[in-house]
């Protein structure tokens, strides 16, 4: 996972990184996608997400999650690192069901954080294997609790930050927040890669 | 009494014969697959081979840049996967590939050839030479100019091979070509089961003895075909991507001959075949010379288009085509430039449209031009080959661009005058300076005409 990319991870065109003082003097990740591909992503105006859902994001999620292209975890590492490096709350990525994770062969949320070199903890576990995307809005909002605390999890009276890939109705994040607050968390913030 | 043993479902055999397939991707029931494996009907290999060097066992990619290692939750180890053929379903170290080694599908020898056309003398000669090569199991290169009737040439050879009970594949780098060939072969071989395979093709039942496929789809085959025909063997990305060439080699049986068919063979191909099994047709089927491209300067066309103005000479040319109601194709070097130019041309005639590679309506738009519903199309190089439109006129804008190689330019010029009733037409290369590739294209076309009519 640490190799330097010479081709754009999305369109396979050769990457030409221009040398600049900023790159030489600050510690930055090497770019993994070309300027043309990165221009297709749309920044989110909200404070709780990095990007807005659009066609480019749809293609990205398809290749990353459905085609299981783990290498794409690196695409947003610079942006995620910049967002999280000064974060004081403990970061919790939304977990996958163990069966689901074995099927996909990796946890897409954890890989995003690992690629960005951001430490995280895990206190929750998923209770169902059903996916949110297979349900409609009503079904999502009415769903039974999607998460529970892990067996030996110790929730402190402090601030936590939940990190998920995409927020549509917000049900997933609401469920996880409730579990943490009921267990004694002081405050729970949320952040997503994409605003749906 | 009820039979309690297990019978191999014929559909499973028909599908898997000749294919190399991801075990988790098979559409057949787990029980049938497990039983087939127990009967040793499948040879199972690992997805990624580590020794002697890293290689994907499906697409034979060995470029280290295109492999990624990660901590796999399935096998709890460091897994490697191939990014080169990712779109066909991921192949990683812990996935298994299945190759059929069980009983072979039933092949019929009853195939009829329903074709009433007639060959020209040159076509007949080339068709005979090709048939001879197939009988001798020798690879062969057919070099025939655009519009020489290459597809028809294949009919006798394919018919002979099918009657011998051989499995035949016609592969081409372009999806458009597969789509164009499929209905033609279906009418000519009405008794034969034919499958057309390309990215996103529908599921097709039964065992096809004749397969039309894009070269990419050949990654999914292994030692399947007794005759391999590669049409448009010089087209992008076949010459560019070495794994596609190795896919052709692995999809055929060891002794199967390869028939290469092209209008613009590379020098490498020519030297390889010219002295042994090579057929050359310098003349079109309707016996008229190839239209020779003219060069026309169009200085700073890019600047002019970006300023919102069609250069005067180009505007004149387009207006002339519109006035004479001749369908036309305008080739652009870049999609970006074409997108800038499209609204400008639509001012001349609102029905002019543009097509590019990712256009979902690409097929419909070409049909509209053929049916004279639109006066002309702006296009990138994707329409350089495989399309036939009656009385079409062609202009290349920025013929000096590197994307227009001599073979691309010959193919583009080859769109013109293919119909027996309209054997001539205008081919203009509008340029900002003449390149050797342009000169080369023109010299070759003149040479073919000289060869054909001397």
List, for residues B159-180, the tens digit of each pLDDT value.
999 999 999 999 999 888 898 8
Of A63, A70, A103, the CB nearest to B70: A70
A131-145, B228-242, B370-384: which range is least confident on average? A131-145
pLDDT at B1: 66
Residues of A in contact with B77 (CB under 8 A): none
Q: What is the pLDDT of residues B277-304, one digit of tens each?
A: 999 999 998 999 999 999 999 999 999 9
The structural domain count of chain A equals: 1
d(CA A144, CA B439): 72
With tokens 């994001």, the residue in question is: A57
Yes or no, beta carbons of A71 and B90 under 8 Å apart: no
- Residue A123 burial (CB count, 10 A): 21
pLDDT at A77: 94
Q: Is A103 on the interface with B (CB under 8 A)?
A: yes
| pLDDT above 60 for A15 | yes
Name the residue with higher pLDDT: A143 or B333.
Answer: B333
pLDDT at B44: 95
Average pLDDT value for chain B: 92
Residue A31 lies inside a defined structural domain of this protein? no
Confidence of residue A183 (pLDDT cuts 50, 70, 90): very high
* Contact criterion met (CB below 8 Å) for A93 and A107: yes
Q: Which residues contact B402 (CB under 8 A, 6 or more apart)?
A: none
Residue A8 lies inside a defined structural domain of this protein? no
Q: What is the pLDDT of residues B57-79, one digit of tens each?
A: 999 999 998 999 999 999 999 99
| pLDDT above 80 for B139 | yes
Q: Which of A71, A104, A107 to mutate to test the interface with B (most CBs of B within 10 A)?
A: A71
- What ipTM score was computed for the predicted complex, to two decimals? 0.88
| pLDDT above 60 for A1 | no
Of A7, A67, A106, the CB nearest to B73: A106
Identify any residues that bridge with A124 across adjacent strands, giving them in sequence order. Answer: A149
A24-33, B93-102, B387-396: which range is least confident on average? A24-33
Mean pLDDT score, B28-35? 93
Length of chain B: 454
d(CA B78, CA B58): 20
Residue A54 lies inside a defined structural domain of this protein? yes
CA distance A168 to chain B (A): 27
pLDDT at B81: 96
CATH code linked to domain B294-452 = 3.40.50.300
pLDDT at A2: 60
* Contact criterion met (CB below 8 Å) for B422 and B432: no
pLDDT at A26: 82
Of A7, A63, A71, the CB nearest to B68: A71
* Helix, strand, coil fractions of chain A, as percent rounded to 5: 35, 20, 45
Output the furthest CA–CA distance in chain A (Å, rounded): 53
Q: Which of residues 35-54 of A touch B (CB under 8 A)?
A: none
In terms of C-beta density within 10 A (0-12 exposed, 13-18 middle, 19 or more buried), how is residue B65 classed? middle
Of A5, A67, A111, the CB nearest to B90: A67
| pLDDT above 80 for B2 | no
Residues of B in contact with A32 (CB under 8 A): none
| pLDDT above 90 for B415 | yes
With tokens 């594949």, the residue in question is: B169
Q: What is the pLDDT of residues A87-141, one digit of tens each?
A: 999 999 999 999 999 999 999 999 999 999 999 999 999 988 877 777 787 887 7
Asked whether the domain spanning B294-452 has the same topology as the one spanning B121-281, the reply is: yes
CA distance B190 to chain A (A): 38
Share of chain A above pLDDT 90, in %: 67
Yes or no, beta carbons of A70 and B74 under 8 Å apart: no
CATH architecture group of domain B121-281 = 3-Layer(aba) Sandwich (3.40)
Domain containing A80: what range?
A: 41-195
What is the CATH classification number for the domain harbouring A62? 3.40.50
Q: Is A71 on the interface with B (CB under 8 A)?
A: yes
Domain extent listing, chain B:
10-100, 121-281, 294-452
Share of chain B above pLDDT 90, in %: 78
B17-26, B122-131, B272-281: which range is least confident on average? B272-281
Name the residue with higher pLDDT: B236 or B143.
Answer: B143
B33-37, B274-278, B324-328: which range is least confident on average? B274-278
């Amino acid at each position: 996972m640490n190799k330097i990319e010479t081709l754009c991870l999305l369109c396979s065109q050769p990457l030409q990184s221009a040398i600049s003082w900023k790159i030489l003097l600050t510690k930055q990740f090497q770019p993994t996608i070309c300027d043309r591909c990165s221009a297709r992503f749309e920044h989110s105006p909200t404070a709780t997400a990095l990007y807005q859902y659009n066609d480019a994001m749809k293609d990205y999620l398809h290749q990353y999650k459905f085609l299981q292209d783990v290498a794409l975890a690196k695409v947003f590492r610079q942006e995620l690192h910049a967002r999280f490096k000064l974060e004081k709350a403990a970061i919790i990525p939304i977990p996958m069901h163990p069966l689901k994770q074995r099927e996909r062969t990796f946890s897409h949320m954890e890989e995003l954080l690992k690629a960005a070199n951001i430490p995280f903890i895990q206190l929750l576990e998923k209770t169902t294997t059903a996916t949110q995307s297979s349900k409609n809005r009503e079904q999502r909002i009415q769903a039974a609790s999607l998460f529970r605390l892990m067996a030996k999890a110790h929730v402190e009276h402090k601030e936590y930050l939940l990190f998920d890939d995409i927020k549509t109705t917000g049900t997933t994040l609401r469920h996880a927040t409730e579990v943490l607050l009921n267990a004694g968390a002081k405050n729970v913030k949320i952040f997503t890669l994409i605003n749906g | 009494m009820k039979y309690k043993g297990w019978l191999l479902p014929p559909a499973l055999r028909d599908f898997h014969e000749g294919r190399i397939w991801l075990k988790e991707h098979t559409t057949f029931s787990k029980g049938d697959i497990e039983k087939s494996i127990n009967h040793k009907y499948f040879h199972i290999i690992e997805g990624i081979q580590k020794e002697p060097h890293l290689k994907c066992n499906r697409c034979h990619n060995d470029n280290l840049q295109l492999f990624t290692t990660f901590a796999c939750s399935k096998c709890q180890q460091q897994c490697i996967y191939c990014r080169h053929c990712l779109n066909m379903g991921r192949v990683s170290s812990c996935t298994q590939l299945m190759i059929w080694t069980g009983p072979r599908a039933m092949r019929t020898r009853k195939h009829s050839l329903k074709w009433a056309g007639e060959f020209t003398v040159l076509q007949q000669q080339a068709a005979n030479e090709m048939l001879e090569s197939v009988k001798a199991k020798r690879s062969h290169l057919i070099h025939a100019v655009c519009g020489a009737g290459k597809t028809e040439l294949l009919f006798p050879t394919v018919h002979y091979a099918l009657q011998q009970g051989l499995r035949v594949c016609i592969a081409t780098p372009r999806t458009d070509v597969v789509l164009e060939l499929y209905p033609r072969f279906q009418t000519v071989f009405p008794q034969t089961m034919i499958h057309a395979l390309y990215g996103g093709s529908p599921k097709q039942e039964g065992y096809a003895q004749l397969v039309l496929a894009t070269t990419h789809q050949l990654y999914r085959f292994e030692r399947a075909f007794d005759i391999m025909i590669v049409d448009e063997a010089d087209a992008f990305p076949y010459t560019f991507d070495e794994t596609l060439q190795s896919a052709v080699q692995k999809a055929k049986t060891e002794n199967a001959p390869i028939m290469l068919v092209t209008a613009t063979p590379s020098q490498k191909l020519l030297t390889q075949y010219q002295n042994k099994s090579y057929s050359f047709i310098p003349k079109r089927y309707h016996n008229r010379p190839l239209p020779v491209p003219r060069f026309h300067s169009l200085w700073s066309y890019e600047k002019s288009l970006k300023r919102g103005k069609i250069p005067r000479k180009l505007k004149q040319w387009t207006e002339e085509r519109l006035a004479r109601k001749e369908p036309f194709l305008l080739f652009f070097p870049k999609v970006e430039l074409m997108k800038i130019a499209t609204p400008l041309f639509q001012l001349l005639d609102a029905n002019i449209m543009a097509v590019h590679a990712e256009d979902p309506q690409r097929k419909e738009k070409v049909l509209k031009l053929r049916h004279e519903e639109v006066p002309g199309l702006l296009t990138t190089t994707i329409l350089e080959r495989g399309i036939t439109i009656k009385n079409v006129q062609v202009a290349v804008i920025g013929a000096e661009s590197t994307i227009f190689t001599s073979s691309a330019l010959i193919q583009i010029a080859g769109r013109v005058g293919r119909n027996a009733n309209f054997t001539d037409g205008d081919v203009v290369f509008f340029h900002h300076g003449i390149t050797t590739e342009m000169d080369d294209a023109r010299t070759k076309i003149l040479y073919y005409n000289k060869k054909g009519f001397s």
